[in-house]
Amino acid sequence: MATKTTQTAKPKKTATDSSPKKVKEVKSLNKKKILFVASESTPFIATGGLAEVIGSLSKALAASGKFDVRVVIPLFSDIKKEYKDKFTYLGNIYVHLAWRNQYCGIFSYEKEGVTFYFIDNEFYFKRPGCYGYYDDGERFAFFSRSVLEIMPFLNFYPDVMHCHDWQAALAAIYLKTNYCFREEYQYIRALFTIHNIEYQGQYSLDLLCDLFDIYGHYKYLVEYNNSINLMKGAIECCERFSTVSPRYAQEIKDPYFAHGLDAIIRKNEFKLRGILNGIDDIGYNCELDEHLFANFSPNDFSNKAVCKKELQKLLNLPQKPETPIISMVTRLVSHKGLDLVTNILEELLQDDVQVVILGTGDAHFEGFFSGMAKKYPDKLSANIAFNGDLSRKIYSGSDIFLMPSKSEPCGLSQMIACRYGTVPVVREAGGLYDSIKPLENGYTFTNFNAHDMLFVIREAMSDYKNKSEWAKLMYRAATTDFSWNHSAKEYEALYMDMLK
């Protein structure tokens, strides 16, 4: 079952190697050991913001020099070949899960100070995409169990095991129910981060022992509303849990946002933190980004006009420099606020405006935007696709970025748009509330109401006409600090607090 191995050649030792290496080892002894457990990470595989955070936060923590940061994800077959070919095969073990005994290959790769591990089992992970299979529960139970089982193999027992979202919830649960009684595991502390409370990992209680291998006397930890709820289990089992913005940490105590878990959140409130995500500010940099038609900087936006013109050309929109382009790069699903947009779109398109949409999602939204683009070919470009290159061309070539989410744990697109001098209009929800401040670096509206949104969009469009004021707003947006500098320190403090 093992995927083909590519052993990287070991560098030859020289006589002078030994002393610097020793120093390095001594230094790393003082570092706290952090293990991220997640289902995806950039640059290897990404379906959304989770992967970006795993890739960029791990790098930022490692760069602080205070942590030995490692990340473990499944070896999905869709992991980019350019990386897969370079992975080192470390060996394999067998992992028990109830009556199952499964092969588990372990691969590794070093990148920018972070060690990545990949769990290989072709039966579970050699499939297109990452999620959406009937046996996802079993796949991520195997993954989570493997995370604990590879620790003796690697001789790596982290100080903090930082688990992300429901796919890694069982790692925190197994630590508490099966492993913490063993000497080597007893000091591991678990932190669980909720990136989106909507996806909780819910299964029938019948699967408790047979599939998840959880003993009956621990049922109370994972049982919720008469079924297994893995997110609930992780919240109960971890030392601390967090969400990806302070505002969302408040919101999920409320039934409106909590998708049924508000009572559990409130019960465990004492261990909840909200830390705003950052973005990889080198990866998203208008001065360096090779995907852009032309590069520009916050001090000189003149080439942004080139990006706009070329974008209009690419999308078959009339090349009108004075007409504001409003863009959305989003999953086309209800909680992203698409219902507000469908409600006022035709009204908005009566104005002198161009609207650009990029994303995939629910069929009725895809159909709606495709249909409207046919009706208004000079005003609306609907791109039903997931396309990283085009997304950057849109971020850089448009003027206003719309993100009217019903709920938004953090949201990264509003930050990326800012980095490219594209001014966001957002609803005050979760991380949107924490990152976008009215007139400071964007526009906000409070109520989930289509005409409240339209009012604010029109306010932005009217301000857009005042070139000098708009340039100042673009500058403030593009220079807002969305790097990890601040938030990585907050995680650092949280880890240290857990290790007291």
Question: Is 50 an interacting residue with respect to ligand GLC (CB under 6 A)?
Answer: yes
Q: Which of 2, 43, 48, 127 binds ligand GLC (CB under 6 A)?
A: 48
Nearest to 425 by CA among 396, 405, 397, 449: 405
Q: Is 374 exposed, middle or buried (0-12, 13-18, 19+ CB in 10 A)?
A: exposed
Question: Quick one: 194 or 345, whose CB is closer to ligand GLC?
Answer: 194
Q: How far is the CB of 410 from ligand GLC (least distance, A)?
A: 3
Stretch 245-284: interaction string toward ligand GLC, x if CB under 6 A: --------------------------------x-------
Instruction: Mark the segment that binds ligand GLC (CB under 6 A) among 110-118, 280-288, 407-415, 418-426.
Output: 407-415
Among 68, 138, 213, 408, binds ligand GLC (CB under 6 A): 408
Six-digit token string for 73: 């994800």
By beta-carbon proximity to ligand GLC, the closer residue of 179 and 199 is: 199
Q: Are strands 114-120 and 67-74 parallel, antiparallel or unpaired?
A: parallel
Nearest position to ligand GLC, beta carbon: 49
Inter-residue contact 178 to 54 (CB < 8 Å): no
Determine the interface stretch with ligand GLC among 42-50, 113-121, 374-382, 484-492 (rule: CB under 6 A): 42-50
Among 183-191, 344-352, 408-416, 454-462, the segment contacting ligand GLC (CB under 6 A): 408-416
CB of 36 to ligand GLC, least distance (A): 13
Phi-psi region of 470 (alpha: psi -120 to 50; beta: other; left: phi over 0): alpha
Q: Interface mask (CB under 6 A) for ligand GLC, residues 357-396, using x and -?
A: ----------------------------------------
Nearer CB in complex with ligand GLC: 324/337:
337
| Among 35, 410, 418, 461, interactor with ligand GLC by CB under 6 A | 410
Q: Is 337 in the site for ligand GLC (CB under 6 A)?
A: no
Segment 141-200, which members bind ligand GLC (CB under 6 A)? 195-196
> Contact region for ligand GLC (CB under 6 A) — 48-56, 81-89, 114-122, 204-212?
48-56
For binding to ligand GLC (CB under 6 A), which residues are involved? 48-50, 53, 195-196, 244, 277, 408-412, 431
